[in-house]
Amino acid sequence: MMHQEFKWQLKSGEITLGRDPLVMGILNVTPDSFSDGGDFTDRDKIIAQAQKMVAEGAHILDIGGESTRPGSEAVAAQEELDRVLPAIDALKESGITAPISIDSYKAIVGQQAMEAGAEIINDVWGFQRDPELADVAAHYSCPAILMHWDPDRDREKDLIDEMNRFFEKSLQIAENAGISKSQIALDPGFGFAKNFDENYELLRRVDELHALGYPLLIGTSRKSMFGKLLGNTPKERVAATAASTVLAYGKGAHIFRVHDVRENRDALQVAKAMLYGPPPPKDV
C-alpha cells in the first residue's frame, strides 16, 4: 500500500507524514505505567531517556503523567501537572529539540503543557472525555491525535464500523472547536476496551480506517496482546512490537508510538526499503 501524505504545522516547523515512518518515543513520568512505571520520575533519568530515544531515531517525544493501564486509578489534574510540567521543562532546558506531545485528556493539562513547550496533544479519549481539550488544540493550532477508547460500544456490531462511529463523533467535536482537518491524526487504540481477538482483527483490518482520510498512529508497544500470545513480560515484547509495527506500516500507517525506539526504527527502515526501494547502501 502506498502511503497517503499529510503535513502537520508545529510551532517548531512542518512535519510530513507519508512514506517516511515517524517514531514517537514513549516517556511516561508515572509511578504505575504497565511497562515502565517508576523508571523515569527523576529529572536526570527523564533527560537521559529522552536523549537516548532521540539519538536512536525518535522524531517525537510523548510525555504522559497518568497511567491508562487496566485497573489504574485516575489522577487529579494537579498531580498530573506536577509530573509532566517539570519533565517538559527539563527537556527544554537540556536542549532537546524534538517536538513534545502531551499525552492527556484533560483540558487544563493540555493548556499548561502547551504553554510549557509541548506542540502536540495526544488524547486517549478522542476529545470525548473533556471536549474543552479540543478548544485548547484549536487555540494553539496544534496537531491533535484522537484515540479510540469506547468501553460502551456494541460488541455485536462490526469492530471497524463501531470505530468509525466513535471517530465521527470525535471529529465533529474537533470541527466544532475549529481545528483544521490537516492537524488531526487517528489512533485505533490497541488494547483499549478491545479483547485479545479484537486486537488482532484490528491489526489485520487497520487499513480500513484510511477511509476517514486522516493519518494513523499505531500504539502496540509491549501490549498484553503479545503477552497473551507469547506468554512473556512487557519488556520481552520488543520483537513482537516491531512485527506489528512493520505490519501496520505496510497497511499505510504513519506514526508509531513505542518504548523501544531503535528496534522499531530499524524494522521500519527495512519495511520502507521493501515497499519503496532502498537508499544507497552504507559502508559496514
Query: CB within 8 A of 255, min separation 6: which ones?
Result: 17, 21, 22, 23, 24, 60, 145, 185, 215, 216, 217, 218
Catalytic residues: 223, 257
Nearest-10 crossing angle of helices 77-93, 107-116: 20
Take residue 28 and report the three cell numbers written for it: 511516561
Residue 180 in contact with residue 156, Cβ under 8 Å?
A: no
Per residue in 164-192, is it b (16+ CB within 10 Å) or e — as a string? eebbeebbebbeebebeeebbbbbbbbbb
Q: How many CB atoms lie within 10 A of CB 86?
A: 16
Residue 251 in contact with residue 215, Cβ under 8 Å?
A: no
Angle, vertex CA 130, rays to CA 68 and CA 23, nearest 5: 50
